[in-house]
Amino acid sequence: MSMEDMLHTSTFSPTLTPAGGANQVRVRAYNERLVLSLIRLHGSLSKAEIARRSGLSAQTASVIMRSLEKEGLLLRGAPVRGKVGQPSIPMQLNPDAVYSFGVKIGRRSADLVLMDFVGRIRLQLHETFAFPLPDRIMTFITKGISALETKLDETQRGRIAGIGIAAPFELWNWAKEVGAPEGAMDVWRNFDLQAEASARIAYPVYLQNDATSACGAELVFGIGPSYPDFVYFFIGSFIGGGIVLNSAIFSGRTGTAGAVGPLPVRGKNGETRQLLEIASIFVLERMLQEKGIDPEPLWYSADEWIDFGEPLESWIQETAKALAQAIVAAASIIDFSAAVIDGGFPDWVRERIVRATNEEARKLDLQGVVMPEIVEGAVGPQARAVGGASLPIFARYLTDQSVLFKEIASDRPHPVQSDRG
């Protein structure tokens, strides 16, 4: 093993035998994760391409891919004939090899999805409420999982990797804004969501902040490969967000980096307000109520909003002005390549918000600011649930996203070598 390989091996701390050699099971597991992650990123790759992109020897790559195919994790594609030599056979992930549950807990609704190995939603449930309470949420999760399990056969149920829950930090905050009675949301203060879910569910349970989960979904399944550094905004009941640096989520010292909601921005009357007080769906809900329009369709289905006319257009314009200020502030600190905007609404609403935000940003004083590209998110309304569902899959089968992109970006990647497979 070269010094370069030793340095790379120490990064991932493989188990050492008393004789000092790297434990082959640990090495194999890491290399299998790397192969699966490369194929997931590129869609399909031949054995030769895997060896080239990963830095694994041809023999190691071949052994690993045969093993993964035998386990049903990989599928063979149609042979591709070149000008010379044997045709290459691209390998791709088997969508039905692994499933995972993802849960999004919001302040107005909850979602449960069953996601396959390539990030497609196979089944989903949705529930709305005036405000979330632990008992109702736990009932939704447990009964929802049971309901979705009935749609799977025994083999499919055996392929479920776990459940990932995406929930806001401090659910008890901003209770007044969602119309909850005073003190009603305080029950969340001492409620251990992950522990309670683990006690009632047979699968491994993972927990992550909802906006961070959405940001992770965008990084993995959306525009991530195109933008190594971006600031992310997800407009739900309350706006949240995340930060991606060097193709990895940056969560900060306390895990709250990218919590864009409290950002100070200027309101339409020149007053200083928090971003969440302008660019959140609960604000649109209030605007509709003031006009005597039923706001319930906002929560029934994010894909099926109706055009609410003037109140919607007014909300979009005010949201865009606030987002433009937030993006300029973010770009003044970090040289982001993109600012990504997504939310719990249809594509046509997202497109209007992004277009308006670009227009508003051009009106601001940008002297000395290198502006990022302001773009639409690619994952959509279920980004939080998809991000949650990805947690068990990454935990069991894939490499950390930052490791993967570092391997991709380098012409000389350094995986852990083991020609014994």
Q: Where are the domains of the chain?
A: 3-95+400-409, 99-210+384-396, 223-378
Residue 7 has pLDDT above 50, yes or no: no
pLDDT at res. 34: 92
Q: State the pLDDT confidence band at 23, using cuts at 50, 70 and 90.
A: low
Residue 6 has pLDDT above 80, yes or no: no
Domain 99-210+384-396 has CATH 3.30.420.40: yes
Provide the 3-class DSSP secondary structure of residue 373: strand
Q: Tell me the helix, strand and coil percentages in the chain, rounded to 5.
A: 45, 20, 40
Provide mean pLDDT across the span 389-412. 66
The residue ranking higher by pLDDT, 152 or 257, is: 152
pLDDT at res. 24: 57
Quick: pLDDT tens for 310-360: 999 999 999 999 999 999 999 999 999 999 999 999 999 999 999 999 999
Supply the pTM of this predicted model. 0.86
Which fold is adopted by the domain 3-95+400-409?
Answer: Arc Repressor Mutant, subunit A (1.10.10)
pLDDT at res. 154: 96
**99-210+384-396 and 223-378 have identical folds:** yes
Which CATH architecture fits 223-378? 2-Layer Sandwich (3.30)
Kindly report each contact of residues 394-398 with a partner whose C-beta sits within 8 Å and lies 24 or more positions away, as own/partner: 395/161, 395/162, 395/204, 395/206, 396/98, 396/161, 396/162, 397/33, 397/36, 397/73, 397/98, 397/117, 397/161, 398/33, 398/36, 398/37, 398/40
Quick: pLDDT tens for 366-392: 999 999 999 999 999 999 999 999 999
- Range of weakest confidence among 102-106, 149-153, 231-235, 252-256: 252-256
- DSSP assignment of 37-87: HHHHHHS-B-HHHHHHHH---HHHHHHHHHHHHHTTSEEE---B--SSSSP
Provide the 3-class DSSP secondary structure of residue 369: coil
Q: Determine the Cα–Cα distance for residues 152 and 155; give it in Å rounded to an integer.
A: 8
